[in-house]
Amino acid sequence: MTSRANIQVRALRDPAAFAAGIAAAGLLPSATHERVRNILASPLTGLGPYGVLDVRPLVAALDEGLCARTPLAGLPGRFLFALDDGTGDVATQNADISAIPDADSLRILLAGEDHGIRCPVEVTVPLMLTAAESFLTERAAQNSEAWRLAELQDGPAQVAARIAELFTSHVTVPARVTALVNTTATARVTAPVTTTATAQVAAPVTTTATAQVAARAATKVAARPTVGQTSAEGPGDRPGDGRPPLGVTPLSITPLGVIPLSDGTYAIGAAVPLGRLSAAHAAVLAEVAGSEGIVRLTPWRGVVVAGLSAEEAASAEAALGDAGLVTDPRSPWVGMTACTGRPGCAKSLTDVQADARASVPALRGSRSVHWAGCERRCGRPRSEVVDVVAVPGGYRVDFEGVSRTHRELDAVVGDVRSRRIG
């Protein structure tokens, strides 16, 4: 499992048969756009206790719109969209284009920066798609090979300016962004993008699905404090200052244990140790979900099974635990991550996953740890972690600017434990 809630399936005996099987199951809807269908959504959206907007219709519309726009097949495979239901979980996951409810509209974040773009729910999908097209246009204008919006020079601000220009009657933008439209942005607009964007702005507005979402959002948003409100206003609270939003609390672990849902049913959340979901794990998940259950993956290498009765959730918790999945938030597996390491990665200096597994019993109560087989530190979470990086002859432990190198695993574990909270 990846930090984008994707699954990479390894050790296949017959890849062609496997591909045919998942295509038949509807998991490969677009041969041309498969690599760019990277959309994160709040794992409990529409079900959980914290979200204010069910983003499932937006996810479906964004996926459909992404596959329908030919130029977007040219997005880099690393480019990421996120639709947050107000929980504040996936808006903090470093997506290139994110949307999160904000009072009676949605706040658009560009590479995590708030440039003051607010739009009604029914315009969110065409706006996000146009922002992605604008990234491609800006990338071409800068003669860049950038994979991410943040890698472009002034990328988020340039895309904000293009959105302000193309969605004039649909979005609210601060004057600072509008001014940018009249200078650099206008010169960069190309005919194909303008045509595509304006032609698709109006179409989704009147669809039944988005109208229902709008009504639901209006009701729920009115019933709870605005996401993003803080008691002490700081510079980041003001729309359009380009800084990360304040007041959105990053949730950096997967939902765990039995979770009561808003419709009276229950979900069970589990972490997958080191993100390695075995065939046996998958079989148990399918069994506890049954024919009616809902299975969702999380970007914290976890899984949620929803739509269960209280009794089913209790027995599912036991079954998942017996299979080796983690439902206890106090488990040392929670917060432990590792890259592929040896033998899967040729760059790795050692089998980091084996060392991580061996160290788990001794690391209960320690800080979160990321093990890496080389300095690249693939899969490192965005949250604060102790880094354990393989070096010739041992490991180096890095935390808050203090690095120590050890030859023995016991010494590594002792060092990690010494970086205790508080």
Give the binding site for ligand SF4 (CB under 6 A). 339-341, 345, 347-348, 372-374, 376-378
Both structure tokens of 272: 């997958």
> Which residue, 302 or 341, is less far from ligand SF4 as judged by CB?
341
> Which residue, 121 or 378, is less far from ligand SF4 as judged by CB?
378
Instruction: Indicate the Cα dihedral angle 77, 78, 83, 86, nearest 10°.
Output: 170
> Which residue, 246 or 409, is less far from ligand SF4 as judged by CB?
409
> Which residue, 123 or 339, is less far from ligand SF4 as judged by CB?
339
Q: Least distance in Å: CB of 372 to ligand SF4?
A: 4
> Which residue, 10 or 330, is less far from ligand SF4 as judged by CB?
10
Both structure tokens of 261: 């849902």
b/e per residue 96-129 (b: at least 16 CB within 10 A): bbbbbbbeebbbbbbbbbbbbbbbbbbbbbbbbb
φ/ψ bin of 268: left (φ > 0), alpha (ψ from -120 to 50), beta (otherwise):
beta
Q: Least distance in Å: CB of 78 to ligand SF4?
A: 15
Q: Least distance in Å: CB of 380 to ligand SF4?
A: 8
The DSSP secondary structure of 4-59, one letter per residue, reads TS-----S-S-HHHHHHHHHHTTS---TTTGGG--EEE-TTTTTSSS-SS--HHHH
Q: Least distance in Å: CB of 396 to ligand SF4?
A: 13
Question: Quick check: helix, strand or coil at residue 348?
Answer: coil
> Which residue, 238 or 376, is less far from ligand SF4 as judged by CB?
376
Report the side by side order of strands in the sheet with 257-260.
Answer: 257-260, 266-271, 302-308, 294-298
The CA distance from 112 to 100, in Å, is 11
Q: Least distance in Å: CB of 274 to ligand SF4?
A: 12
Q: Least distance in Å: CB of 356 to ligand SF4?
A: 12
Q: Least distance in Å: CB of 377 to ligand SF4?
A: 5
Q: Least distance in Å: CB of 385 to ligand SF4?
A: 14
Q: 407-416: long-range contacts (C-beta < 8 A, 24 or more apart)?
A: 409/355, 409/358, 409/359, 412/355, 412/359, 412/388, 413/359, 413/362, 413/363, 416/359, 416/363, 416/366, 416/367, 416/369, 416/386, 416/388
b/e per residue 304-335 (b: at least 16 CB within 10 A): bbbbbeeebbeebbeebeebebbbeeebbbbb
> Which residue, 188 or 377, is less far from ligand SF4 as judged by CB?
377
* CA distances to 101, 115, 170, 177, 241 from 173, in Å: 16, 8, 10, 7, 11
Q: Least distance in Å: CB of 95 to ligand SF4?
A: 21
Report the side by side order of strands in the sheet with 97-102.
Answer: 39-41, 81-83, 97-102, 105-110, 113-119
The CA distance from 237 to 326, in Å, is 37
> Which residue, 176 or 377, is less far from ligand SF4 as judged by CB?
377
> Which residue, 326 or 372, is less far from ligand SF4 as judged by CB?
372
> Which residue, 116 or 379, is less far from ligand SF4 as judged by CB?
379
> Which residue, 4 or 377, is less far from ligand SF4 as judged by CB?
377
* CA distances to 81, 137, 186 from 144, in Å: 20, 10, 19
Q: Least distance in Å: CB of 341 to ligand SF4?
A: 6
Q: Least distance in Å: CB of 299 to ligand SF4?
A: 18
